[in-house]
Amino acid sequence: MRRLLADNLVFATAAIVIAMAALFAALRLAG
Amino acid sequence: MQLLYAVRGTVWIILYLFFILAPLFALLTAPLPPARDFWTEFSAALGYAGLAMMGLQFGLTARFRYVTEPWGEDVIYHFHRQISLIAVGLVVAHPLILFAVRPELLGLLNSISAPWRARFAALSIYSLIALVAMALRRAKWNIRYETWHVTHIILAVVAVVAGLLHMVGWSFYLAAPGKRALWIGLTIFWIMLLLYVRVVKPLFMLRRPYRVVEVRQERGDTWTLVMQPDGHPGFRFSPGQFGWLTLWGTPFKITGHPFSFSSSAAGADGRVEMTIRNLGDFTSTIRKVSLGQRVHLDGPYGAFTIDRNPADMHVLVAGGVGVTPMISMIRTLADRGDSRPMILLYGSKDWESITFREELEALTARLNLTIVHVLANPPAGWTGERGFITAAVFKRHLPPPYADHEYFICGPDVMMDAIEKALGELNVPLAKYHSERYSFV
């Protein structure tokens, strides 16, 4: 149960971080 | 209680993301260098975020009890391993994207002509790749655990420090003194987390030593160490939890060994027991421990305890020496005079190697405890369960509905995988079974 939760957290973290990196780049271009 | 752990766990997840993303978005504050194209900015963001994730790896393994409690140490290490692949992927993606959109940067791969800021980037990435490769292939490459552990720490520090020097040397976002100070401060903070677990914690352990007061041989080439706090009251633990044991040398030694406490948690004198099977490695030295020997304990850790998961009926499933947290639970419930029904499904190699066999039998008189031995190599005339613990064994010995019980599982990984599958077949929800993988280091 806890391991499954950890696996899901890994995927969620990866998705959030990549999305935030894209947001970072978009904000930069938006000035 | 469960809700409190869930809330605490959520707070730590939010903080974890904050420590990755806040330093990244702090780069967007003024003064700002001129913006570049989307992919260059995206790749830079991946590099910064990846490095922050690598730095936080030091925190995940710093054994902060308050942080690890909601999940358990084995899950934290599992997360540490999985997230490192993501972090390294992000860091490696950073130059790959740059090379794709700005091929002129490929010249930086020549470490002889490249400036220092590029050499540091290469050093950081090569260290990360070596670190991941060694972690994944340690067993296959036959690297001694202690050697791997020291190398792992050195490579991690080199990767993080070289990554920072690359960022500072590139002097783009970190040209601003405030942002530079923030990222240098962060890196120092990450290294401090490492120093905490490698220097501060051992110092604390050094001041709170234990003495071995008994070394007891058990069935199944297994030994119980009885340890008494020396000049301090010791600590309280919950049945099922574990501690890190340093048997030989000082607590500053890089490699500690995690073992479950096997004694009752109801004892008040701080005395703790660990029961350790000889598996041919460090565990083969247990029998050589002498009475009065000074040892060091760091604990308690772990979320694998009946105290956190109260139930009408506890189903304990143990394989081999995985019985150690179970005997602690059983002894504790006996000392507490707990009369709730409990069943122990206990897989062993053969009848003679069943650790705690006689004591468990005796404890059935004091508790509402049923013991089901499952033997891989049963003796002639054995009428009990044979082979391995399967869904059929559960069906024969547990009263339905199966989803109403709380399941505690400890044993070799292959057994735990099989049990989790068997419980899935019985439609036991995931939240009802609890496991601790003692092969997590």
Q: Which residues 1-30 of A have a C-beta within 8 angstroms of B? A: 1-7, 9-10, 13-14, 16-18, 20-22, 24-29
Q: Which helix (H) or strand (E) holds B8?
A: helix B2-25
Q: Which helix (H) or strand (E) holds A26?
A: helix A2-30
The alpha carbon of residue B334 is apart from the nearest alpha carbon of chain A, in Å, by 28
Residue B121: the pLDDT is 96
In tens, the pLDDT along B357-369 reads 999 999 999 999 9
Round to whole Å and give the CA distance between A17 and B197: 27
Tell me which residue of B84, B87, B60, B82 sits closest to B71, measured CA to CA. Answer: B60
Using the predicted structure, report yes or no on whether residue B155 has a pLDDT greater than 90.
yes
Amino acid at B59: G
Greatest alpha-carbon span in chain A: 44
Greatest alpha-carbon span in chain B: 83
Round to whole Å and give the CA distance between B37 and B42: 9
Cβ–Cβ under 8 Å, residues B253 and B304? no
φ, ψ for residue B390, nearest 5 deg: -125, 180
Round to whole Å and give the CA distance between B313 and B292: 40
Q: What tokens does B402 get? A: 């199966």
Of B24, B37, B431, nearest to A24 by CB-CB distance is B24
B34: pLDDT confidence band, cut at 50, 70 and 90? very high
Using the predicted structure, report yes or no on whether residue B59 has a pLDDT greater than 90.
yes
Residue B303: the pLDDT is 85
Dihedral, B75, B78, B80, B84 alpha carbons, nearest 10: -150
Q: What was the ipTM of the complex prediction?
A: 0.96
Contact flag B17-A13 (C-beta cutoff 8 Å) = yes
Round to whole Å and give the CA distance between B222 and B219: 6
Residue A1: the pLDDT is 62
Using the predicted structure, report yes or no on whether residue B317 has a pLDDT greater than 60.
yes
Mean pLDDT, rounded, of chain B? 92
Give the contacts of B409 (CB within 8 A, at least 6 positions apart).
Answer: B317, B318, B322, B416, B419, B420, B433, B434, B435
Neighboring chain A residues of B435 at a CB cutoff of 8 Å: 2-3
The alpha carbon of residue A19 is apart from the nearest alpha carbon of chain B, in Å, by 10
8-state DSSP, B377: S
B67: pLDDT confidence band, cut at 50, 70 and 90? confident
Of A10, A14, A24, nearest to B28 by CB-CB distance is A24
Give the residue on A whose Cα is nearest the Cα of B76: A6
Of B25, B75, B86, nearest to A13 by CB-CB distance is B86
Using the predicted structure, report yes or no on whether residue B307 has a pLDDT greater than 90.
no
Residue B282: the pLDDT is 78
The alpha carbon of residue B46 is apart from the nearest alpha carbon of chain A, in Å, by 6
Classified as helix, coil or strand, B302 is coil
Give the residue on B whose Cα is nearest the Cα of A9: B79
Interface test with A, best of B8, B42, B67 (most A CBs within 10 A): B42
The answer to whether B25 faces chain A, any CB pair under 8 Å, is yes
Round to whole Å and give the CA distance between B49 and A21: 8
In tens, the pLDDT along B232-266 reads 999 999 999 999 999 888 888 887 789 999 999 99
Cβ–Cβ under 8 Å, residues B240 and B436? yes
φ, ψ for residue B253, nearest 5 deg: -55, 140
Give the contacts of A21 (CB within 8 A, at least 6 positions apart).
Answer: B24, B42, B45, B46, B49, B90
B274: pLDDT confidence band, cut at 50, 70 and 90? very high
Residue B342: the pLDDT is 95
The mean pLDDT value for B125-134 works out to 96
Give the residue on B whose Cα is nearest the Cα of A13: B17
Interface test with A, best of B8, B56, B83 (most A CBs within 10 A): B83
Contact flag B41-A10 (C-beta cutoff 8 Å) = no
pTM confidence score:
0.87
B1: pLDDT confidence band, cut at 50, 70 and 90? low
Using the predicted structure, report yes or no on whether residue B5 has a pLDDT greater than 90.
no
Neighboring chain A residues of B17 at a CB cutoff of 8 Å: 13, 16
Cβ–Cβ under 8 Å, residues B246 and B204? no
Strand order in the sheet with B433-435: B385-386, B369-375, B342-348, B314-319, B406-410, B433-435
